[in-house]
Structure 1
């Protein structure tokens, strides 16, 4: 059998947190905060902020400006190759 002692309860949770925090090289408090943030994001408790169309436009323009400063060129997307590609008009 196994010589490893099975711990149940708060000690088990604490041991698992210490293990994971050692692997990720962060404190236990930071690990708990990450777990809580992820849990709140995936649960129904988190509601993303509602943005207006103008706010979304400004955020997009700021992202484009940030990319331009980082040297990422702006490209125009051309989807004309997909027009009538799957249409049945050829038959």
Structure 2
């Protein structure tokens, strides 16, 4: 099963990656920048597979670059807690 099929699986997957990056000394800013790049890729190249991803894509598409960076930071924060 793809991690994108289930939003809970996606949060868990992302949380594991965020924790690994932090454990390897990656700064919060660098993690947020990578999250923005991944979010931009997903929004432009991948069709959402569930309702949560659809909402995130709609928010991403509605936002300007600064708002998209905020969404990415919030996703990192949410994933870190899952």
- Which is helix-richer, 1 or 2? 2
Q: TM-score band (shorter)?
A: 0.3 to 0.5
> Which structure's relative contact order is higher, taking Cα pairs within 8 Å and 6+ residues apart?
2
Whose Rg is larger? 1
User: Which TM-score applies when normalising by structure 2?
Assistant: 0.32
TM-score by length of 1: 0.29
